[in-house]
């Protein structure tokens, strides 16, 4: 049951409401892999990374916290609009994959549309890919090295269409990419 407080509150209160909302929507969901990490950790990590790299606009942080809610739950867009406004909804919709498409089509669509999405959506997209790469690095995931490499290559293509707007995010992406490449090389050598 979702209970929101007065949305006339300050920016911090609105962000906390979004995190609470996301945690209720993603309740029971787990990240991929055997570590059984609660899914909510991912949107929180995305939001935290945005903040740590200088993104302070509340609507962007809220959209970061909610970026997977429509795609991965049965949340209707109108509910997001009602609780968090049309600007937040529009950002989330820019980031939401069309689940009626095949997995490969969705991946290709992200690469193709990345250059044309809004600046805030680009920053959320980069933060999302960084957090996904970090999860691949630090949590046991049931992917072989080749599948991990394919994900990394795809993430690079998506992020290429989003770069140049936030130097800190670009730098963190590059550093994360370097670390995961080193770990995968070590993984390959140990086989």
Q: Report pLDDT digits (tens) over 8-64.
A: 568 999 999 999 999 999 999 988 877 888 999 999 999 999 999 999 999 999 999
Is the CB of residue 31 less than 8 Å from the CB of residue 39?
yes
Residue 84 inside a domain? The answer is: yes
Residue 92 inside a domain? The answer is: yes
Q: What is the largest CA-CA distance in the chain?
A: 57
Residue 4 inside a domain? The answer is: no
CATH code, 87? 1.10.3210.10
**Chain CA centroid to CA 103, Å:** 17
Residue 102 inside a domain? The answer is: yes
Phi, psi of 143 (to 5 degrees): -115, 140
What's the pTM value of the predicted model, to 2 decimals? 0.93
Residue 6 inside a domain? The answer is: no
Encode pLDDT of 107-152 as tens digits. Answer: 999 999 999 999 999 999 999 999 999 999 888 788 888 999 999 9
Residue 3 inside a domain? The answer is: no
Name the domain count of the chain: 1
User: Which residue numbers are catalytic?
Assistant: 71-72
Residues 6+ apart with CB under 8 A from 24: 1, 2
Residue 2 inside a domain? The answer is: no
Give the domain range for residue 34.
11-189
Q: Is 38 in a helix, a strand, or coil? A: strand
Residue 1 inside a domain? The answer is: no
Token pair belonging to 9: 């509150």
pLDDT at 143: 86
The rounded distance, in Å, linking the Cα atoms of 134 and 63 is: 20
Q: Is 117 in a helix, a strand, or coil? A: coil
Token pair belonging to 191: 């086989």
Which sign, positive or negative, has the C-alpha torsion 96, 102, 108, 109?
Answer: negative
């Amino acid at each position: 049951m979702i209970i929101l407080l007065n949305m006339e509150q300050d920016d911090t209160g609105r962000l906390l409401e979004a995190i609470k909302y996301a945690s209720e929507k993603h309740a029971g969901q787990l990240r991929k892999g055997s570590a059984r990490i609660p899914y909510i950790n991912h949107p929180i990590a995305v939001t935290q990374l945005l903040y740590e790299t200088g993104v302070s606009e509340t609507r962007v942080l809220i959209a970061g916290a909610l970026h997977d809610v429509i795609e991965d739950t049965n949340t209707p867009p109108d509910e997001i609009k009602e609780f968090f406004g049309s600007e937040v909804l529009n950002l989330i919709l820019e980031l939401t994959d069309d689940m009626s498409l095949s997995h490969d089509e969705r991946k290709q669509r992200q690469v193709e549309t990345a250059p044309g999405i809004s600046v805030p959506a680009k920053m959320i997209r980069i933060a999302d890919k960084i957090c996904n790469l970090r999860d691949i690095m630090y949590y046991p995931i049931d992917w072989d090295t080749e599948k991990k490499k394919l994900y990394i290559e795809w993430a690079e293509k998506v992020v290429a269409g989003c770069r140049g707007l936030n130097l800190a995010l670009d730098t963190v992406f590059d550093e994360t990419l370097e670390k995961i490449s080193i770990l995968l090389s070590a993984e390959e050598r140990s086989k």
